[in-house]
Amino acid sequence: MSELAPKNGEFLDGKLWFQRKGSILTLGITSAAIEELGSVESLELPNEGDDFDKGDMVVTVAGSQGKIEVITPAAGLIQEVNQAAQDEPERVTEDPYEEGWLVRLEIQDVSDLKEYLSQED
């Protein structure tokens, strides 16, 4: 029996998204979060190699109308941070799903994501 885990999804009341390719998980904020935050003004990103447990806060996104703490839906090691988005936070505001991704983690256990399976999966 194989472990079912979604390839992508939204969590934290639709404010955060993830996309999984194998064991690499890309995280970002959704357009709904941007509506709440206003334009993104700054990001506090972790360092490559940082280790996080499921539910840990990994990124803080500050906008003109507040901030959001991005948590990880699975335990893992930071493989890559979006330095371009840190240098130009408007990338997150303008294109949160492509140019504006935040971090990529190598996750230890894809079953951490099972709770995010939708009914269609």
28-72 pLDDT, tens digit per residue, is 999 999 999 999 999 999 999 999 999 999 999 999 999 999 999
pTM of the model: 0.91
Cβ burial, residue 100 (10 Å; 0-12/13-18/19+): buried
Domain boundaries along the sequence of the chain: 8-109
Reported as a single tens digit per residue, the pLDDT across 66-77 is 999 999 999 999
Position 115 scores a pLDDT of 87
**Rounded Cα gap, residues 6 and 18, in angstroms:** 9
pLDDT, greater one: 1 or 17 = 17
Q: What is the pLDDT of residue 61?
A: 97
- Residue 4 tokens read as 């079912």
Considering the domain 8-109 in this protein, what is its CATH number? Answer: 2.40.50.100
